[in-house]
Amino acid sequence: MLTLLAYALIATFMALIMTKRLSVLTALVLVPVVFALVAGFGESIGPMMLDGVRAIAPTGVMLMFAILYFSLMIDAGLFDPVVARVVRLVGGDPVRITVGTAVLALLVSLDGDGSTTYLITTAALLPLYRRLGMSRLMLAGIVMLAGGVMNILPWGGPTARAAAALKVDVAELFVPMIPAMVFGSAWVIFVAWVFGRRERRRLGVLGADALRDLHASALNRQEYEREQGVRRPRLLWFNLLLTVALMTCLMLGVLPLSILFMIAAALALVVNYPRIDDQKERIAANAGNVLAVVAVIFAAGVFTGILSGTRMIEAMAQSVVDIVPPALGPYLAVITAVLSVPFTFFISNDAFYYGVVPILSQAASAYGITAAELGRASLVGQPVHLLSPLVPSTYLLVGLCGVELGDHQRFTLKWALVTSLVLLAVGLATAVIPWSH
């Protein structure tokens, strides 16, 4: 019964947000609460929800100040020279812009942190997409596909989790998957090219002067003057050095991420807008973006807290093992790769790699499939995983791009699925993921 309720909860949640019957925020809270009550967990539902919120609180605080910081950098005009130079290089050609988006996202993703990738890439390119009138769904999709491929890096999270759960060396999982990552990256660039071709047919190619005119005409006179009034071109070098120092500290782990962004946001406010009234105005102007993301993050904590507290995640994991017949045992590596797509979407990476993968590995060992082979197969679903409503950084991306999560999922899902298939196909072709034993 618990297993059926778990699957029904997931199906109901996805149906409600993708059909826009409920917003993501309300669905994340109300749907698990209703199912927990139906399952008879009424007395313990409060502690479950609090546990989930506590677990996600550091991420929520980090994202709140990270959004505020990069919003201030955009307001101050830190990325204006980047946009201007990109405009000169690409000449307003959507194909070059989308391909450049993919390359930049792949390079920034080398740090293994999705939130940082989203912040830097969207902060640099979103003004250009807006100025040209290009689809922000395409921007979000390209950036997320790049992050999904690069998430296999050992410091990205899933590979380290799989290695720890299966008790194998990280290098045994990652190094053989490098060819798959290379082909996956090439596929992402190809998808970006396809997107760019679509936008070129819709918008044409504009020159730098036409782009500036387009941007000016898109704003009324009052809005244009207000935008220019918050720019701080004289502080460009300070803002650049502050951002470089912040990124360096993030990579070195000098302080927790939330603390680093709090300090950086405070410094950015004080230096760029020393007057208290200006600081209040900037905070108020960006409060909508901050609240839209952070509120959903804490709601996601409620969702995961109830799923974990009611043991619905464990029930789903066991159900997967139970439905695999012995005749399919020799194909468990491929089965694991296929299962990693829906399971890393519907449950967290922790639940999948620490709860499901060890069980599958134990069953696969009877057929000669090594733990390392099964671990590589379990990484295939990461491009789809980043579309999950349980991934905090996903809300950061859609919030920054100004798109709805349901629209983003519908637009990007098919491309993410094909990206996972590319990783699997190359893994099978190079024999690092066995077809059968």
Q: Are 10 and 346 in contact (CB under 8 A)?
A: yes
CA distances from 316 to 51, 71, 268, 377 (A): 21, 40, 46, 19
The overall average pLDDT reported for the chain is 82
**How confident is residue 219, by pLDDT bands cut at 50, 70 and 90?**
very low
pLDDT in tens, 373-401: 999 999 999 899 988 887 878 888 888 88
pLDDT at 211: 54
Instruction: Kindly write down the DSSP assignment for every residue of 201-219, as one continuous string.
Output: HHH----HHHHHHHHHHHS
Positive/negative CA dihedral, 31, 115, 425, 326: negative
- 180: confidence class by pLDDT, cuts 50, 70, 90: very high
Instruction: Give 257-274 pLDDT, tens digit per residue.
Output: 788 889 999 999 999 999
Helix (H, G, I), strand (E, B) or coil at 273: coil
pLDDT at 425 over 90: yes
| Cβ(425)–Cβ(153) below 8 Å | no
Neighbours of 11 (CB within 10 A): 11
The 10s digit of each residue's pLDDT in 69-86 is 878 887 888 777 766 676
What's the rounded Cα separation, in Å, for the pair 280 and 269? Answer: 9
Nearby residues of 175 by Cβ (< 8 Å), 6 or more positions away: none
**How far apart (Å, rounded) are the C-alpha atoms in residues 131 and 153?**
34
83-92, 246-255, 302-311, 423-432: range with lowest mean pLDDT? 83-92
Alpha helix positions (H), 77-113: 80-90, 94-108
Q: How far apart are the first and last CA of the chain?
A: 35
CA distance 282 to 230: 9
Q: Which residue has the higher pLDDT, 383 or 367?
A: 383
How many residues are given for the chain? 437
**CA dihedral sign, ordered 245, 251, 257, 259:** negative
Q: Where along the chain do its domains lie? A: 2-53+302-429
Round to whole Å and give the CA distance between 143 and 188: 9
Look at residue 42 in the predicted model and tell me its pLDDT: 83
| pTM, full prediction | 0.70
Q: From CA 87, how far away is CA 20, in angstroms rounded?
A: 36
The pLDDT of residue 349 is above 50: yes
